[in-house]
């Protein structure tokens, strides 16, 4: 899936409002996944998701620093200019499950980071505002660094890791 903007973002304040929401939703999604992994006694994956949440927190703090002194617009959830129902870095979370292994968790994170990078690159490609273009390219470059880091982590995983164990007593989820 290629994530793009639905309409150009033409002001720095609007761009930063989108970036702040994107990063905050990413943090919240990773924290929820980490909590779920802890409940299901999957501490290794919980820690991985907490680490990814800290990356998002750092990026959100950078956005807030850039926005210091500005009044950012309040954007309704249905008015964000990304082409997915959820923010680009939290839309891959549906594939998460309580028995996931490190490979699967990294794949979810990789999808999210690629979608974040695509969104920021799309903003840079569609805006007529030079300052927005510059910021969007910087954000896209940072997301590219995250993608490369996740690919490196994937490459360093033990390829002989045991297959996930089947849960003989799965949670009872009412329909």
* Percentage of the chain lying above the pLDDT 90 cut: 43
What's the pLDDT score for residue 12? 97
Domain span at residue 43? 12-155
Residue 173 lies in a domain: no
In a domain, 125, yes or no: yes
The predicted-structure confidence for 107-133, as pLDDT tens digits, reads as follows 888 988 899 999 999 999 999 999 999
Residue 145 lies in a domain: yes
Q: Is the model's pLDDT at 11 over the cut of 90?
A: yes
Q: Is residue 59 included in any domain, yes or no?
A: yes
DSSP per position, 83-138: SSSS-TTTGGGGG--TT--HHHHHHHHHHHHHHHHHHHHHHHHH---HHHHHHHHH
Mean pLDDT, range 26-35, rounded to an integer? 88
Is pLDDT of 92 > 90?
Answer: no
Whole-prediction pTM value? 0.83
| 96: CATH | 1.20.1260.10
165 within a domain of the structure (yes/no): no
Structural domain total, the chain: 1
4 lies in a domain? no
CA distance linking residue 46 with residue 32, whole number of Å? 9
Task: Tell me the pLDDT tens digit for each residue of 129-171.
Answer: 999 999 999 999 999 998 998 898 888 876 655 555 555 555 5
In a domain, 82, yes or no: yes
- Answer whether residue 122 is part of any domain: yes
Query: DSSP 3-state assignment of 81?
Result: coil
């Amino acid at each position: 899936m290629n994530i793009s903007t639905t309409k150009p973002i033409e002001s720095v304040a609007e761009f930063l409002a989108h970036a702040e929401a994107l990063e905050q939703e990413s943090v919240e999604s990773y924290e929820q996944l980490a909590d779920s992994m802890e409940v299901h006694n999957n501490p290794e994956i919980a820690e991985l998701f907490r680490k990814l949440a800290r990356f998002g927190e750092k990026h959100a703090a950078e956005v807030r620093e850039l926005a210091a002194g500005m009044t950012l617009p309040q954007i309704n959830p249905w008015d964000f200019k990304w082409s997915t129902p959820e923010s680009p870095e939290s839309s891959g979370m549906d594939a998460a499950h309580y028995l996931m292994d490190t490979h699967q968790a990294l794949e979810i994170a990789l999808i999210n980071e690629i979608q974040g990078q695509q969104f920021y690159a799309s903003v840079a490609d569609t805006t007529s505002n030079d300052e927005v273009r510059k910021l969007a390219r910087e954000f896209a470059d940072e997301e590219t660094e995250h993608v490369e880091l996740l690919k490196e982590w994937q490459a360093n995983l033990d390829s002989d890791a045991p297959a996930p164990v089947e849960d003989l007593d799965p949670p009872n989820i009412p329909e």
